[in-house]
Amino acid sequence: MYKHFFVVIFLIVATKCFAQKPNELEKDSAQIKQDSIKKIEFIRKLGNGYLPFKYFNLDLRYLIKYNQYEGFRTGLGGITNNKFSKKYRLNGYAVYGFKDERYKFSIGGGFRIMENTNTWINLSYTDDLQETGSSSFLTDKRFFTFFEPRLLNIDLFHRHITKSISVEHKISNNLLSETQLATSKINPTYNYNFVLGNESFNTFDVSTARISVQWSPFSIYRYEKDYIVEEKNGYPKFTVQYTQGFKSIFGSDFNFSKLDFRTIYHLQHKNESLTTLGLVAGIAGGETPLTHLYHSYPNNIRKETILQRFSVAGLNSFETMYFNEFFSDKFSTLQFKHFLKPFKITEWFKPQLVLISRHAVGTMSSIDRHQGIEFSTLEKLYSESGFEINKLFFGFGLSFAYRYGGYHLPNFEDNIAFKFTFNISL
């Protein structure tokens, strides 16, 4: 009898334990899933350049950088997150350049007026430097890398104090837009005069209106916790931007206009190889100073030997084109990259060969307006080709490029660029 009693007691206890175990497993599973989501969200933010805190995210872009004009540039920046507010946000940064011994800063904020179209009105005040001849699209997604290769060798900057108001608006999931009104005080840090008739400007004011549209027709989106997340990053993508400068508005000195276009295409092959194509074009008309014209993404420093020019290859730059060698008011570039399947030598050592070909063409209609700085134009086709061997050691690799075509240089060594690469992402 005692034997049967103990058996019954054992069965009751065992039944109770096993009956509770699924609940515990469900709780553990839910906790693991929640922790996993938090980790993924943390890594995503870190990969986008943010270190998240409770009410704001620290912006890693401003911690430390280096260029030829400022030397080391260091500071802090950040933006408030959804725990602070889902309707309002504040952002800003403050940095210091040790070589030019100057502080730079920006302060801004925004408020959302329509949730379903993610429409924000933003205001900002910025006192900083910008590379002359550079151009960017308002709708560009925030792009972050732990290391920005081209920045190391840039020396041609202009100071600007810019006040702006902008409107972000999602026309549809695949069609994003941003419109901006801005006024800027421009002061080149180099010897430059912009000549118009009998007037010469070494500093000037510019007031502009810009509208930018990005179309991603083949991307697929889904809703996740009241947010739209890009589930499939589809290609090609198209971006168009129009800029109009207005004379005499807020003291602006010039009338000019710019139209910029970019398309990017990725073709993933079945054998784990990848082909990418990028076409960028721009046209500027009217009274456009050099600060607002175009370079063609150069990334080569002026040194005598190949080893003296050894530096870091950019992600989408012309490695054999010297800095400040060409400027254009009309230009286009075509870049081709083919990533071969990685060579699996060991589980941790998988180098990858990338074949590269780049081409650029451009013109300058009123080159005599730009005084104090010497440069050439790109009426002939500029071409370079080469290869990269990436992921050789902790994200480092090697790059080789050769310059040929209409701008081939007499000295053979001057056409060669040999550099190392750095590619790492989260």
Strand (E) or helix (H) holding 17: helix 2-47
How far lies 322's CA from each of 61, 129, 325, 394, in Å? 26, 21, 5, 28
Say if residue 14's pLDDT is above 50: no
Judged by DSSP in three states, 168 sits in: strand
Please write down the HEC assignment for all residues of 218-276.
Answer: CCEEEEECCEEEEEECCCCEEEEEEEEECCCCCCCCCCEEEEEEEEEEEEECCCCCEEE
Judged by DSSP in three states, 25 sits in: helix
* Residue 329 confidence class, pLDDT cut points 50, 70, 90: very high
Judged by DSSP in three states, 189 sits in: coil
CATH code of domain 115-422 = 2.40.160
Query: DSSP 3-state helix, strand, coil percentages of the chain (rounded to 5)?
Result: 15, 50, 35
Nearest-CA neighbor of 174 among 224, 236, 86?
236
Rounded to whole angstroms, the Cα distance separating 333 from 382 reads 9
Nearest-CA neighbor of 285 among 252, 338, 345, 328?
328
* Mean pLDDT comparison of 32-36, 123-127, 138-142, 266-270, highest-scoring range: 123-127
| Structure tokens given for 56 | 């704001």
Pick the more confident residue, 304 or 416.
416
Q: Per residue in 28-48, is it b (16+ CB within 10 Å) or e — as a string?
A: eeeeeeeeeeeeeeeeebeee
Nearest-CA neighbor of 249 among 156, 307, 182?
182
Q: Using one digit for the tens of pLDDT, what is the confidence trace for 354-401?
A: 999 999 999 999 899 999 999 999 999 999 999 999 989 888 899 999
Judged by DSSP in three states, 12 sits in: helix
Q: Return the ∠ at Cα 42 (arms to 38 and 48), rounded to 5°.
A: 145
Residue 165: predicted pLDDT: 98
| Structure tokens given for 203 | 């500093």
Q: Using one digit for the tens of pLDDT, what is the confidence trace for 98-155?
A: 999 999 999 999 999 998 898 999 999 999 999 999 988 998 865 555 567 788 889 9
* Residue 224 confidence class, pLDDT cut points 50, 70, 90: low
Q: What is the mean pLDDT of the chain?
A: 87
